[in-house]
Amino acid sequence: MPANLENTLVIGISSRALFDLERENSIFENEGLNAYAQYQRENEKRVLEPGTAFPLVEALLKLNDKLGEHMVEVVIMSQNNPQTGLRVMNSIDFYNLAITRAAFSGGESLGPFLSAYSVDLYLSKNLEDVQDAIDHGIAAAQLYAPPGGFNPDADEIRIAFDGDAVLFSEDSEVIFKQQGLDAFLEHEKVFASLPLPEGPFGRVLKTLSRIKSLSDKPLVRIALVTARDRPAHERVILTLRSWGVEVDEAHFLGGLPKNEVLRAFNAHIFFDDQDKHAGPASEHVPSARVPYKTSSELYDKDAPGPDSAH
């Protein structure tokens, strides 16, 4: 395993994001740490069922074999202690997942350790942990419960992103919040040739695009799914071009619901900053919300914006 992860996509993932630990989490919340630890020790040999991010992680790790290069690294990042984490590692062995690194912090914040493990993206079902990662400058998202009956593509990893406040900064969305739709559209038209500032998942997209380019075979498929429409589409396309990134699909929905498009795309994961989109999508495909804080906090983040119905 390479010590230099500079060109590798490193994903830090909580044990509850990778495996179904909802029963165990309920024991922890209702009965306390000791009861939880005892339950985990008593069930160390009992294999955990896959969680929301399992299909994505399994598919990404298989990329290394398909490409013949170590381009994806997954690290378990858990506040469990090493003793209670043993069940997680046993389950990793059972599913033959190529995960060798793990951080069990024994209840301490994971945020300070993320950079030490060169994490590019952190996935968890715990909002506080996700916000902690964001506060430490790491792209992060909170996963929803897995959709029932999800059947991922076996040959191609499909990843979908929202635009504003995910791939791009929230700057344009601020204009919408403060000045309305007409002002937003006019602003995007006037500044169409000026690339949008990079958002929290910009680097993740660029890394995936680079990995995608390593093979002539369709191993990774990327979609942009946004409520932007004409004329606000042009700035997005020109921004991606300036980044040297080509997405396979772009859906400019103009306020139409995103969930049906995502079901048709059959995403392994969908990232959006608003629950009103990510929530309904999570009924069809694994989904995650990207929380963020604006520097000025001048507007209500959950109000309709350019990536919501208008």
Taking only the tens place, the pLDDT of each residue in 215-233 is 989 999 999 999 888 877 8
Q: Is residue 187 part of a domain?
A: yes
**Residue among 222, 217, 219, 211 at smallest CA distance from 120:** 211
Do 52 and 171 lie in one domain? The reply is: no
Higher pLDDT, 58 or 108: 58
Do 198 and 105 lie in one domain? The reply is: no
| Count of other CB atoms within 10 angstroms of residue 265 | 22
Q: Are 296 and 277 in contact (CB under 8 A)?
A: no
pLDDT (0 to 100) of residue 177: 67
Q: Is residue 152 part of a domain?
A: no
Do 133 and 165 lie in one domain? The reply is: no
Do 283 and 175 lie in one domain? The reply is: yes
Do 119 and 14 lie in one domain? The reply is: yes
Over residues 243-255, the pLDDT tens digits come to: 999 899 999 998 8
Do 14 and 139 lie in one domain? The reply is: yes
Q: Is residue 309 part of a domain?
A: no
Do 100 and 186 lie in one domain? The reply is: no
Q: Is residue 296 part of a domain?
A: no
Do 26 and 139 lie in one domain? The reply is: yes
Q: Is residue 304 pLDDT above 50, yes or no? A: no
* Domain span at 30: 9-143
pLDDT (0 to 100) of residue 181: 60
Q: Is residue 174 pLDDT above 70, yes or no? A: no
Residues 73-92: b if buried by 16+ CB within 10 A, e if exposed:
bbbbbbbbbeebbbbbbebb
Average pLDDT over residues 62-84: 91
Last residue of a domain, one of 143, 177, 209: 143
Beta strands per DSSP E along the chain: 9-13, 72-78, 101-104, 121-124, 139-143, 157-161, 220-226, 249-252, 269-272, 287-289
Last residue of a domain, one of 88, 112, 143: 143
Average pLDDT over residues 109-133: 95
pLDDT (0 to 100) of residue 175: 65
Q: Is residue 1 pLDDT above 50, yes or no? A: no
Over residues 255-281, the pLDDT tens digits come to: 899 999 999 999 999 999 999 999 999
Residues 6+ apart with CB under 8 A from 93: none
**Residue among 174, 130, 178 at smallest CA distance from 290:** 130
Last residue of a domain, one of 90, 117, 143: 143
Q: Is residue 308 part of a domain?
A: no
pLDDT (0 to 100) of residue 65: 93
Q: Is residue 214 part of a domain?
A: yes
- Note if the pTM is more than 0.75: yes
User: How many domains are there within the chain?
Assistant: 2
Residue type, position 191, single letter:
F
Do 206 and 136 lie in one domain? The reply is: no
CATH of the domain at 137: 3.40.50.1000
Q: Is residue 257 part of a domain?
A: yes
- State the catalytic residue, choosing from 120, 129, 132, 162: 162
Do 172 and 281 lie in one domain? The reply is: yes
Annotation marks residue 135 as catalytic: no
Average pLDDT over residues 69-74: 94
**Residue among 46, 50, 28 at smallest CA distance from 90:** 46
Do 114 and 177 lie in one domain? The reply is: no
**Residue among 42, 87, 97, 93 at smallest CA distance from 65:** 97
Higher pLDDT, 180 or 75: 75
Do 31 and 116 lie in one domain? The reply is: yes
Q: Is residue 173 part of a domain?
A: yes
